[in-house]
A and B are shown apart, each in its own frame.
Chain A
Amino acid sequence: MHTTSLMMTSSLITMLLLLAYPVFTTLNPDPRGPDWSLSQVKTAVKLTFFVSLLPLFLFLNEGAEMIVTNWTWMNTLTFDINISFKFDHYSIIFTPIALYVTWSILEFASWYMHSDPYMNRFFKYLLIFLIAMIILVTANNMFQLFIGWEGVGIMSFLLIGWWYGRADANTAALQAVLYNRVGDIGLIFAMAWMATNLNSWEMQQMFTTAKNQDLTFPLLGLILAATGKSAQFGLHPWLPSAMEGPTPVSALLHSSTMVVAGIFLLVRMSPLLENNQTALTLCLCLGALTTLFTATCALTQNDIKKIVAFSTSSQLGLMMVTIGLNQPQLAFLHICTHAFFKAMLFLCSGSIIHSLNDEQDIRKMGGMHHLTPFTSSCLTIGSLALTGTPFLAGFFSKDAIIEALNTSHLNAWALALTLLATSFTAIYSLRVVFFVSMGHPRFNTLSPINENNPAVLNPIKRLAWGSIIAGLLITSNMTPLKTPIMTMPPLLKLAALTVTILGLLLALELASLTNKQFKTTPNLAPHHFSNMLGFFPAVIHRTLPKLNLTLGQTIATQIIDLTWLEKTGPKALTSLNMPLITTTSNAQQGMIKTYLSFFLLMLALTTLLFIL
């Protein structure tokens, strides 16, 4: 066998074995030792990361992509389901990034969850999540992708509800499952359409046989799936609620890996999307609406994790906009760069939260730059990368997206919303940095603030390096598959930078107002709109269950009782018989007129019968 394909196949098998081994060791009934999580799980993920670099380098050097079909699982005469892995440039680049981020998060979690009695179980859940995510990303058929998709959904539920004694955590986990389920309806519909019309779930066969068909319905299903999983507008409330889970969960699932699964699905299916203008326009408008709405909600939140969660949702909206621009490679680039700085923002938040004795409200933080200089510097670097500061990681992807949006002939409204959302990104990022790092401390002085634990510092350092150089590395190593338009007026070229700087200046002005309090600030309607998340959860989470419960109540008490008692049961007997009884007894009241009428009637009938 050719050396390259041999090396890639063997790295795949090694990766899966390395990741699965610690899970299998937990099948042993004896409990694992206290250092199992650190020595086994983290080491396994670290080794897998280095092994996954081999296919990456082979791909970058030779352009080698592979499809490995391992096992014919359920095959009929006309329909095949195999276990097959696709190592194309999306999965080859994403897998090392996911493993790098997971490695850092596991190391951080060994410090963060140190006091938790079930830390081993926590690490096991994270590992199973990682395996499911890699199955999703490397899937070559829809069935395997669905296995990964559901796997990450279930692990998300288990991990969000980690502290299950807390009612809010249970609600949030249930919310995540329900919203994801609505999205899954779309995915299953799309899979059913493809099975019946394209006769296959393998990607290659789907892409070739779908050439001349009208794909609007399955694409709408896929977009619904992405809306559910990637928290687009309409199915977005689960993401900020998911912050009830521990910070490593938020960092891994709800910023870098799981929530991008929806966008990744659309990137995978981009050959189907690119010819359907309806689907592309829907993606564009949905993404633009999401990015602006969630950025607006982030402006007035006070919980640091909620701000970062809304920031994630906003960036996911931006990725959806890129899909709508028919630029899947740029969306994928943003997925990769976003993973680094968003995970780092979460880890810095987690470090600050733990240092301040589990305080999450930014109004009760402050002055962390003097107390935890390294963490707040990395928070600043992450925020700068998020806003698209030139030459950090976010710049290469975000600026490219906004340039593509500016030079396209598409919806100007989507462009306006996206630029506004970009400036809001700068505003809430500055708000976080201002309230957390700058100024004077607004908390008690008894918290154990220190930065001397390498389990905290090293992951953040690694992710900081990623946030700085990942954009440059990825764009330098990959030739774009769609020619970027490099010629545009200077104002368009600088549009993203200009709105970001404007947002920063505005935020600085607003933040400095908090130090000079002339009067009490009035409660304004826009503040309420933003703080209550657009009233979306308040309205929808009450209306829909109420409608369902009222329907259930009506059916159970009224309709069923009505049916069995009145329409088919005893009352029905009554209502059927009563008219007969009334008529009969009315005719037999002893009234002469009635008897005479009957007599005449009978006489007439008999006469008629004789005549006829």
Chain B
Amino acid sequence: MGAHLVRRYVTETETEPDPKKKSQFDPEYGFAERKEREMVATQEQMNLAQLPLEQRDYCAQYLLKLMKCKRDNWPNFLACKHERHDWDYCEHQDYVMRMKEYERERRLQLRKKRIEAQAEAA
């Protein structure tokens, strides 16, 4: 559970990726076809809803739907479970994606280190 911290500070200090730095590798490397994520909610929609900056991410369309559902269904505050789940699931997938990107970066760093070690040994 704290494995990433142990790796970063104790065992693999050179190869562990720093989340604050940019990726050293090409995002398309190893993938056949990879397209960039697109925002579904438009700038205008988010401005009208007065979303704070941190909530204007790739899941904003679900949040906008949730806000609309809440406003329409009040006083039934138990109503919008489905929309809430959609937004939470989208955020969860976003989190999983971030973790996968981190893991990809880490494995590419390890691979690079292995290749360099082999080149030196040869």
Name A's B-contacting residues (CB within 8 A): 57, 60-63, 473, 476-477, 479, 481-483, 485-487, 489, 491-492
Q: Given contacts A481-B55, A483-B54, A487-B91, could you give 16 more A-B pairs where the C-beta distance is less than 8 Å?
A: A60-B75, A61-B71, A61-B74, A61-B75, A476-B77, A477-B70, A477-B74, A479-B70, A481-B52, A482-B52, A483-B57, A483-B91, A485-B95, A486-B95, A491-B1, A492-B1
| A487 partner, pick from B63, B71, B96, beta carbons under 8 A | B96
* B54 contact set on A, CB distance < 8 A: 482-483
* A481 contact set on B, CB distance < 8 A: 52, 55
Complex alpha-carbon distance, A60 and B75, angstroms: 8
Q: Which residue in chain A gives the minimum CB-CB distance to B51?
A: A481
B100 within 8 A of A: no
| A486 partner, pick from B1, B74, B88, beta carbons under 8 A | B88
Complex alpha-carbon distance, A489 and B4, angstroms: 13
Can you report 14 residue pairs joining A to B where beta carbons are below 8 Å apart?
A60-B75, A63-B71, A476-B77, A479-B67, A479-B70, A483-B55, A483-B57, A485-B91, A486-B88, A486-B92, A486-B95, A487-B91, A487-B92, A487-B96
Q: Which residue in chain B gives the minimum CB-CB distance to A477?
A: B77
* A473 contact set on B, CB distance < 8 A: 77
Segment 30-79 of B: residues with Cβ below 8 Å from A: 52, 54-55, 57, 59, 63, 66-67, 70-71, 74-75, 77-78
Q: Which residue in chain A gives the minimum CB-CB distance to B2?
A: A412
Complex alpha-carbon distance, A486 and B91, angstroms: 8
Complex alpha-carbon distance, A491 and B66, angstroms: 29
The winner among A60, A62, A485, A487 for most chain B CB atoms within 10 A is A487
Q: How far is the CB of B52 from chain A (nearest CB, A)?
A: 6
Q: B92 touching A489 by the CB < 8 A rule?
A: no
Q: Which residue in chain B gives the minimum CB-CB distance to A485?
A: B95
Q: Which residue in chain A gives the minimum CB-CB distance to B95?
A: A487
Q: A476 touching B78 by the CB < 8 A rule?
A: yes
Chain B interface residue count, CB cutoff 8 Å, equals 20
Q: How far is the CB of A267 from chain B (nearest CB, A)?
A: 15
Q: How far is the CB of B119 from chain A (nearest CB, A)?
A: 35
* A482 contact set on B, CB distance < 8 A: 52, 54-55
* B88 contact set on A, CB distance < 8 A: 486
Q: Which residue in chain B gives the minimum CB-CB distance to A409?
A: B19
**Number of contacts between A and B (CB, 8 Å)?**
41
Q: A62 touching B52 by the CB < 8 A rule?
A: no
* B70 contact set on A, CB distance < 8 A: 477, 479
Segment 81-95 of B: residues with Cβ below 8 Å from A: 88, 91-92, 95
Q: How far is the CB of B6 from chain A (nearest CB, A)?
A: 13
Q: B55 touching A62 by the CB < 8 A rule?
A: no
Q: How far is the CB of B97 from chain A (nearest CB, A)?
A: 11
* B96 contact set on A, CB distance < 8 A: 487
Q: How far is the CB of B49 from chain A (nearest CB, A)?
A: 10
Complex alpha-carbon distance, A482 and B51, angstroms: 10
**Sorted from nearest, which 5 A-B pairs have the closest CB atoms?**
A476-B77, A487-B95, A61-B74, A487-B92, A477-B77
Complex alpha-carbon distance, A345 and B92, angstroms: 38
Q: Which residue in chain B gives the minimum CB-CB distance to A476?
A: B77
* A57 contact set on B, CB distance < 8 A: 75
Q: B77 touching A62 by the CB < 8 A rule?
A: no
Complex alpha-carbon distance, A60 and B76, angstroms: 11
* A60 contact set on B, CB distance < 8 A: 74-75
Segment 1-20 of B: residues with Cβ below 8 Å from A: 1
* A61 contact set on B, CB distance < 8 A: 71, 74-75
Q: How far is the CB of B3 from chain A (nearest CB, A)?
A: 11
Q: Which residue in chain A gives the minimum CB-CB distance to B70?
A: A479
Q: Which residue in chain A gives the minimum CB-CB distance to B92?
A: A487
* B1 contact set on A, CB distance < 8 A: 489, 491-492
| B71 partner, pick from A62, A476, A492, beta carbons under 8 A | A62
* B95 contact set on A, CB distance < 8 A: 485-487
Complex alpha-carbon distance, A230 and B54, angstroms: 29
Q: How far is the CB of A320 from chain B (nearest CB, A)?
A: 22
Q: Which residue in chain B gives the minimum CB-CB distance to A274?
A: B54
Complex alpha-carbon distance, A96 and B74, angstroms: 19
Complex alpha-carbon distance, A477 and B80, angstroms: 10
Q: How far is the CB of A25 from chain B (nearest CB, A)?
A: 37
* A477 contact set on B, CB distance < 8 A: 70, 74, 77
* A479 contact set on B, CB distance < 8 A: 63, 66-67, 70
Complex alpha-carbon distance, A482 and B91, angstroms: 12
Complex alpha-carbon distance, A477 and B66, angstroms: 12
* A485 contact set on B, CB distance < 8 A: 91, 95
Complex alpha-carbon distance, A307 and B1, angstroms: 35
* B52 contact set on A, CB distance < 8 A: 481-482
* A489 contact set on B, CB distance < 8 A: 1
Complex alpha-carbon distance, A482 and B63, angstroms: 11
Q: How far is the CB of B64 from chain A (nearest CB, A)?
A: 10
Q: How far is the CB of A424 from chain B (nearest CB, A)?
A: 23
* B63 contact set on A, CB distance < 8 A: 479
* B71 contact set on A, CB distance < 8 A: 61-63
Q: How far is the CB of A16 from chain B (nearest CB, A)?
A: 27
Complex alpha-carbon distance, A60 and B66, angstroms: 14
Q: How far is the CB of B92 from chain A (nearest CB, A)?
A: 5
Q: Which residue in chain A gives the minimum CB-CB distance to B55?
A: A483
Q: How far is the CB of B27 from chain A (nearest CB, A)?
A: 23
Complex alpha-carbon distance, A126 and B71, angstroms: 37
Q: How far is the CB of A358 from chain B (nearest CB, A)?
A: 43
* B66 contact set on A, CB distance < 8 A: 479
Complex alpha-carbon distance, A322 and B57, angstroms: 23
Q: Which residue in chain B gives the minimum CB-CB distance to A326?
A: B54
Q: Which residue in chain B gives the minimum CB-CB distance to A63?
A: B71
* A486 contact set on B, CB distance < 8 A: 88, 91-92, 95
Complex alpha-carbon distance, A473 and B55, angstroms: 23
Q: How far is the CB of B69 from chain A (nearest CB, A)?
A: 10
Q: How far is the CB of A536 from chain B (nearest CB, A)?
A: 33
* B75 contact set on A, CB distance < 8 A: 57, 60-61
Q: Which residue in chain A gives the minimum CB-CB distance to B60?
A: A483
Complex alpha-carbon distance, A63 and B55, angstroms: 17
Q: How far is the CB of B46 from chain A (nearest CB, A)?
A: 14
Q: How far is the CB of A577 from chain B (nearest CB, A)?
A: 75
Complex alpha-carbon distance, A477 and B77, angstroms: 6
* A483 contact set on B, CB distance < 8 A: 54-55, 57, 59, 91
Complex alpha-carbon distance, A492 and B66, angstroms: 27
* B59 contact set on A, CB distance < 8 A: 483
Complex alpha-carbon distance, A473 and B77, angstroms: 8
Q: Which residue in chain A gives the minimum CB-CB distance to B77?
A: A476
Q: How far is the CB of B12 from chain A (nearest CB, A)?
A: 19
Q: How far is the CB of B90 from chain A (nearest CB, A)?
A: 10
